[in-house]
């Protein structure tokens, strides 16, 4: 791989890392919202939606991390 493509891939990895941080912040906020619901709302539809959102955001974070790992592996090969 030439230097120009490596540079481009590093820039892409940096962009993904920024998106990862923003997404992680959203996930943390949703998790805090869910965890701070009053006891009488736990198990409610609102709670379940927040819990589903946290789970989906965690999956998205895992996918982004995998993408960054894959790109880094290509850069280093």
Phi, psi of 44, deg, nearest 5: -80, 170
The answer, as to whether pTM is greater than 0.85, is yes
Phi, psi of 42, deg, nearest 5: -65, 130
* pLDDT tens for the chain, residues 1 to 77: 899 999 999 999 999 999 999 999 999 999 999 999 999 988 899 999 999 999 999 999 999 999 999 999 999 98
Per-residue pLDDT, 6: 96
Per-residue pLDDT, 45: 94
Most distant pair of Cα atoms in the chain: their distance:
59
Per-residue pLDDT, 36: 94
């Amino acid at each position: 791989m030439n230097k120009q493509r490596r540079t481009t891939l590093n820039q892409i990895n940096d962009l993904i890392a920024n998106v990862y941080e923003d997404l992680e912040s959203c996930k943390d906020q949703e998790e805090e919202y869910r965890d701070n619901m009053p006891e009488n709302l736990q198990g409610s539809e609102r709670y379940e939606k927040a819990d589903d959102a946290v789970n989906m955001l965690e999956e998205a974070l895992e996918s982004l991390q995998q993408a960054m790992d894959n790109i880094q592996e290509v850069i280093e090969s």
